[in-house]
Amino acid sequence: MNVFIDIETIPTQPEDEARSLIAKSISAPKTMSKAETIEAWHNGEGKYAGEKDKAIEAAYRKTSLSGTTGEIISIAWAVDDGEIFRFSRESSDSEHRLLYLFALELNKQLALRPAYFIGHNVRFDLRFLYQRAVINNGFKSLDLKQNGRHSNDFFCTMEAWAGFGQRISQDNLCKALGIEGKPEGIDGSKVWDYVKAGDIKKVEEYNADDVDKLRQIYNRIKSYS
């Protein structure tokens, strides 16, 4: 059965602890060679005021791009032409429970039939889900085929459109195909900001909207196959 899927991720939790570790290990830019310049950068002196903080912020946010360090905050999916389901959580809530509820509901919908996952850059989603399941000692009942091949084991709309190893954002592909783009004011880079602001529902809606767009893209591509 076709399973259209998309996840939203956040940086390492808890935040304060993660930032502290980054601050202790972060290095000055490689373009700096003089000891006094490097010291000024670390101390935030003169023209380097705030530069280390910016680097820490960037490094912290980047942890959301790996299942080894980041966490899943929202999952949205739809089976074939059915309803779009979405589960989300607050950053302080259990990621294990989110993964458990997702697997429980999806297995119920699949009724022992195999899932054929479809996503935009779906390799990222499946790998992230697999890693977080292992870390959380979570579900083992879903075959995510995270080591699989496009078209055979899963379908990646990005790879189908741009080719292996190439990239195009889902939003840009929507624009090319005349499909309405992302909701105003939110994209993947802003998910953490909305979570911190306590607006997880906005993230959940954005997540579900991505699945809707994904299904439209897939149907258009497959109509020319």
pLDDT tens string 106-138: 999 999 899 999 999 999 999 999 999 999 998
CA distance 55 to 78: 38
Going by C-alpha positions, the residue among 5, 213, 220 that lies closest to residue 115 is 5
Cα 116 from Cα 153, distance rounded (Å): 7
In sign, the C-alpha dihedral spanning 118, 123, 124, 130 is positive
Q: What is the per-residue pLDDT across 152-187, written as a single tens digit (0 to 9) for each?
A: 999 999 999 999 999 999 999 999 999 987 777 788
pLDDT of residue 123: 97
**Alpha carbon distance 128, 134 (integer Å):** 10
| pLDDT 10s digits, 23-34 | 999 999 999 999
DSSP codes of every residue in 179-209: ---PPTT--GGGHHHHHHTT-HHHHHHHHHH
Q: Is the pLDDT of residue 100 over 90?
A: yes
Domains of the chain: 2-10+66-222 (3.30.420.10), 15-64 (no CATH)
Question: Quick one: pLDDT at residue 74?
Answer: 98
